[in-house]
Amino acid sequence: MQSINTVWHHATVTRHRRNQQNNHKSAVLWFTGLSGSGKSTLAHCVEEELYQLGCRTIVLDGDNVRHGLCGDLGFSDVDRKENLRRIGEMSKLFVEAGVITLTAFISPFSDDRNRVKSLMGQSEFIEIFVDCSIDICEKRDTKGLYKKARKGEVANFTGVSSPYEPPENPDLVVDTGSQTLDESVKLVMNLLIDRGIINNEN
């Protein structure tokens, strides 16, 4: 999708120069999983760790984004696709700005996640599957959404009335049903070090 009569303006301050200034690389950490799996909690805790290291970060949370940028969208398959398209494009802009971008979205469909991945380079998109059984997610149910979905009060609810397609080859699987939050954060941080996004000197 591209507007007509537009030409891309190449800036002199590039992502590479921003990364050098920040002393870390920019990337998208894409947390995907069922509602209640702990995506937002994990993303914000990882961000806190990165912040303490002096990294430039932002968390794009599913609920928060729907208060503004995507407030006009519902939860049909078509709207979810558009929701992730917008998030993908916004994430790409943050990566260009030198920011480590952490996104917490159910993003239930593989095609949609792969489409976002295609916007960026292979090394810039890190898919993290926050794996947690639906039984545990329902027991947590902090928002009461599963109960409403079971009663038919919430349509197109992932895991109940709408499917979730787990990533086939995620960069990292975090089992929040059995691992502690500290253990989960450490796994993500170690991956970022291994990938050269951050280093031990940050």
Q: Which residues are catalytic?
A: 107
- What span, in angstroms and rounded, lies between the C-alpha atoms of 196 and 202? 11
Exposed (0-12), middle (13-18) or buried (19+): which is 3, by Cβ within 10 Å?
exposed
Beta carbons of 105 and 10 less than 8 angstroms apart: no
Q: Collapsing DSSP states into helix, strand and coil, what is residue 95? A: helix
- DSSP labels, 117-145: HHTS-TTTEEEEEEE--HHHHHHH-TTSH
